[in-house]
Structure 1
């Protein structure tokens, strides 16, 4: 290896690694030198290296001590050079740790994990979602992509923050989108709804272009952009305005003593919806018989889907067939 190749490799190393390597080389040279100068006091090279590290760190156990003038001069040179390098290494390591934490908070550090969930857009909805994910499974990694945030304290939120435009490939590569488990694109409610939906569609196109298989869930604010989101590759389109309008209607016109919002919120927190093909034993059975079948497994049948039409809480005597998809409620 010639000098230029060595310099090329050495100066591309991270500063703490480069400094640590320099310390090992320097301590080895001092240990070798003191062994050659005073072989009786330092019987082996390792003894010399041990003395060099202990002296350079200003610990000074006194188990090995140079007795000759030449040996003591070597010790003085060691204190003037090696001691300073060790102190500088410790301060550099501490500074690197602080810088790394700052870069994490500023969204500059790439994510290297796998099977993570990518959240695009930081708002109160995604903040609560990140907390819910952390409560349900502390091992689930969450990566947040947002261009409006300049800083997100890494210790305060259970997410890995990436600062940038989610429609750019470079930003998605930072989030390691190739190995993501799922993606949620949240609408930016601080800007015009149509513009927010266009940004969502662009982000969906970019994600799908980088990962053909990852499930993409998008929040769309205007009905006219739902089809565009589907064309962009979204697997699920959440029309949040429709949902909230329906919920508002229930709140305005519900029956006495009924609490629609609390009911829906509690239901979604405690239970999950499952869509599964009708089990073979239930072919040609009635809806009532199917309810009893699922109750035995601790699940609640609430309806079924047939030829794209939804039947929620249908008549008990309706007959099910093996082409139906049943809708059940089950615990998380």
Structure 2
């Protein structure tokens, strides 16, 4: 490696690593010098380096000390140069740590992990999702992208925050979109419905373009934009307005606080829907037989997907094939 190449590498290295390398070089240099000057007091190079580190850090055990005037002059130079350098290094590391924490809270730090979930938009739905993931899938890694937040208390929320727009390539690259396994796009509550849907569709297009294999769930508010969201690349489209309208209707006409439907909605919050393949030992069996098998695991078989079509509560004598997928309702398990 040429001197020019070394200096290029050195100045491209993060400052705290450069300082650490400089401190280490100083200690080794002074350790060799004191061993050369006073071989009797410092019989090995290691002992010389030990003395240099202890003296330069101003700890001063006193187990090894120079005995000659020349050795003492070397010690003075070490205290002046090395001590100041060590102090400067510690101050730089502390400042870098504080800056990193601030940048992390402000969403400026890139995410380096893989197989994570990306949430687009910070709102009440996203907060509840994060809490559910934390409770039932604590090993899951979540990255949040939002353009309205200026900072987020990362110690309170176990997520990695990226500040920016979910439709911009630079923001998605910071979230390591190419290595993510799923993305959930929620509607922006600050926009009117049609504008929010257009923003969600634009986010879907951008994500699909950067990661063709990612699983995308997109929230849409207006019925007219559902088809556009699917064309944009959404694997699943959720229209939250449909569910909310149903809740309002039943709340309006329910008989009392113990209305069964109202209770049902609360119960569903502790359940999860799953799409699974037909177990090998149940291929060729009836839907009824399969239902009984799943009940033994406390899972409820709701229906199946056969030849691309969804069938909820199909005839009990329907024969299952290995090409079918089952729709199962299961309790959320930690």
TM-score by length of 1: 0.91
Q: Distance in 1 between matches of 2:216 and 2:313?
A: 30
Q: Is the 8 Å Cα contact of residues 16 and 92 (structure 1) preserved in structure 2?
A: yes
Closer, same or farther: CA 35–218 of 1 in aligned 2, 3 Å: same
Q: Deviations over 1:99-141 (max 9, x none)?
A: 1111100101011111111001111110111111011122111
Q: Distance in 1 between matches of 2:23 and 2:325?
A: 68
Q: Distance in 2 between matches of 1:271 and 1:55?
A: 62
Q: Distance in 1 between matches of 2:295 and 2:84?
A: 73
What SS class does the counterpart of residue 12 from structure 2 fall into?
Answer: coil
Tell me the residue number matched to 1:70: 70
Q: Distance in 1 between matches of 2:46 and 2:276?
A: 68
Tell me the residue number matched to 2:97: 97
Q: Deviations over 1:246-294 (max 9, x none)?
A: 22222223355314244223223134344655943434x6x5x664454
Return the match for 2:285 from 255, 258, 282. 282
Aligned: 1:159 with 2:159: yes
1:71-150 equivalent positions in 2, closer than 5 A: 71-150=71-150
Unaligned runs of 5+ in 2: none
Once the two structures are TM-superposed, the CA of residue 205 in structure 1 deviates from its matched residue by 0.6
Tell me the residue number matched to 2:269: 268
Closer, same or farther: CA 301–46 of 1 in aligned 2, 3 Å: closer
Q: Distance in 2 between matches of 1:74 and 1:325?
A: 78
Once the two structures are TM-superposed, the CA of residue 298 in structure 1 deviates from its matched residue by 2.8
Q: Is the 8 Å Cα contact of residues 273 and 327 (structure 2) preserved in structure 1?
A: no
Once the two structures are TM-superposed, the CA of residue 154 in structure 1 deviates from its matched residue by 1.4
Q: Distance in 1 between matches of 2:72 and 2:290?
A: 92
Q: Deviations over 1:45-71 (max 9, x none)?
A: 221111111111111111211111111
Aligned: 1:215 with 2:215: yes
Number of residue pairs matched by the alignment: 327
Q: Deviations over 1:204-234 (max 9, x none)?
A: 0111011111100000011111111101100
What SS class does the counterpart of residue 269 from structure 2 fall into?
Answer: helix
Tell me the residue number matched to 1:52: 52
Query: Is 150-159 or 243-252 further displaced after alignment?
Result: 243-252
Supply the RMSD in Å over aligned alpha carbons. 2.3
TM-score by length of 2: 0.90
Once the two structures are TM-superposed, the CA of residue 307 in structure 1 deviates from its matched residue by 6.9
Q: Distance in 2 between matches of 1:113 and 1:310?
A: 35
Unaligned runs of 5+ in 1: none
Q: Distance in 2 between matches of 1:268 and 1:276?
A: 24
Q: Deviations over 1:14-46 (max 9, x none)?
A: 111000100011111111111111111111222
Query: Is 100-109 or 273-282 further displaced after alignment?
Result: 273-282
Q: Deviations over 1:185-207 (max 9, x none)?
A: 01001111111111111110111
